[in-house]
Structure 1
């Protein structure tokens, strides 16, 4: 059978039409398990857990990531535990999904894949994206426990096209700072200089609010973006629970 016609979740993982990652970030940068060389899940095992630590400037977290796979659905439990007082922008249970040319949906919004790389983010409990040639993945929240300074959201992003013509979707089940309570920081997003801009104290808060997540929501190539940071105290933990159901069209 052609890999893009697979009708079982384990097979979709095996042929990499569905890939998993975990991330967290702040104004200094972000940690990605896959980009840090952390071994991914074994797609041949129905139940498994991996555990590792991630560090960026200003944050150190232990991540415990578990999945249980069945034929048509699987559950994922991703726990982040602060190993020190950590300033954070977000925590992410990340999914990369490949499909042919069909639309995704979130919060009654239909999203065509146009390689715009826009974050269609909503404070909702579910999102749906196509996978392979004919199936859909329905993502839903299961008992996520966060923090009063962070909001629980999903987003869908139409990132790019693979060399074989498949559309690359990004789905984030995310805990992100609440803008109204976070310390807003403007970041430079040039390739040669990426990180917090100098002279933060003289940048008006009104400008920071206008720049908040601007590269995510409007212009992925804008040279600046404001993010927020809130404190996660040492030993505090947050948990992102996700259920993924395969719907064969």
Structure 2
């Protein structure tokens, strides 16, 4: 593992594959987000942070993070070898908080990938940065050298308002895999501009008018993720996390070789 500021990244030696797969964490609220790979991008403040590497191929990351609308403790336990691995992420609300999502992230170079599936659905890589998101299901990545990785989401503990989902996103040169707890039945909403010329919440008067309609809220909720990143606005949602609430999710993966 590199140092903390370098992000949670690991070169996983998976059988004959030995692909470089980046591991990350993301946690979002209505005000900002925390990215372990690119901490400078959000306005969340890290109040304490520790990373421990075990004697074997395992690790423990812990941090205390302060948002304007959330105060949380984050803990990730992980391990990996040539045949399998696991990650377990636990988020505890240290005060009454609101969160939009909690994510275990994997980044894979698309040039090494032959095909990708969520459950029985093949997901095509069209370089469109589209979110192919479904309720929790296994994900299989078939590599060009015959290796197959299977990711199985596990250990889901979710408060009211959250659902356990997975998605594959076809960034131009990468596959992005998220194992995600997402506020699909949120108690709070924000309408935000998502373009270079307007990248912030809309004025309160506009928010009050538009978000007062349940019809509008439901159709614009995560609309850029569901339909197209070209849409210049989106409604985001967050669910309440009373002090002491826990979000926990995990993933186990295995690797095997299939003869061509």
* Pairing partner for 1:142 from 141, 151, 154: 154
* Partner residue in 2 for 1:175: 181
- Aligned with 1:191: secondary structure? coil
User: Taking structure 1 as reference, are residues 10 and 31 closer, same or farther at Cα in structure 2, changes over 3 Å only?
Assistant: farther
Q: How many residues align?
A: 235
Rate the CA distance shift 1:71–1:153 in 2: closer, same or farther, 3 A: same
Which shows bigger deviation, 129-138 or 91-100?
129-138
Residues 185, 208 of structure 1: 8 Å contact kept = no
Q: Please, what is the CA RMSD of the aligned residues?
A: 2.7
Q: Which runs of 5+ in 2 are unaligned?
A: 1-10, 41-48
The answer on 1:196 being equivalent to 2:207 is no
Which residue of 27, 32, 47 maps to 2:30?
Answer: 27
Instruction: Tell me: CA distance 1:102–1:44, structure 2 relative to 1, closer, same or farther (3 Å).
Output: farther
Partners of 1:11 and 1:101 lie apart in 2 by: 13
Aligned CA distance change for structure 1 residues 207 and 128 (closer, same or farther; 3 Å): same
Please state if 1:50 is matched with 2:61: yes
* In structure 2, distance between residues paired with 1:206 and 1:184: 13
Decide whether the 8 Å contact of 2:113 with 2:144 is kept in 1: no
Using structure 2 for the length normalisation, give the TM-score: 0.81
CA distance in 2, matches of 1:224, 1:41: 40
CA contact (8 A) 2:29 2:98 kept: yes
CA contact (8 A) 1:9 1:69 kept: no
Q: Which of these residues, 184, 187, 196, is aligned with residue 192 of structure 2?
A: 187
Question: What residue in structure 1 maps to residue 91 of structure 2?
Answer: 80
* Post-superposition offset of 1:101: 4.6
TM-score by length of structure 1 reads 0.84
Q: Which has the higher contact order (CA 8 A, sep 6+)?
A: 1
Deviation at 1:207, TM superposition (A): 1.8
List 4+ stretches of structure 1 deviating above 4 A.
37-45
Q: State the match for 2:6 in structure 1.
A: none
